[in-house]
Amino acid sequence: MNYRINDTVEVIAGREKGKKGRILKVLPAKERVVIEKVNFVKRHTKPSQQSRQGGIVEKEGAIHVSNVMLFCKKCNRAVRIKNLRGADGAKNRACARCGELT
């Protein structure tokens, strides 16, 4: 999977289409990512030792990776990325449009 924590991505499909945010969590086994301030879901919780007060809690839900694209700051849009090998053999990710390393 080409996404990492703290990458800026844009949602390209679904009800949250067009929203941008930072990746908070990557779930590679399920091929999903959790994005900051995108796809809020309501969770009904009971009172427990950790949270004394129960109720309805809103938190970010996971989005499938096929519905997000990396956001290039130089192009100012969502772009595909390509994997490059540096001279020292290290892997780098670059914008497919402008070549900017991410």
Res 70: pLDDT: 96
CA distance 85 to 68: 24
Q: What is the pTM of this model?
A: 0.87
41-68 pLDDT, tens digit per residue, is 999 999 999 888 889 999 999 999 999 9
Q: Where are the domains of the chain?
A: 8-47+57-95
* Percentage above 90 pLDDT, the chain: 84
- Residue 28: pLDDT band by 50, 70, 90 thresholds? very high
Is 97:75 a contact under the CB 8 Å cutoff? yes
CA angle 3, 18, 21 (to 5 degrees): 45
Q: Domain 8-47+57-95 has what CATH class?
A: mainly beta
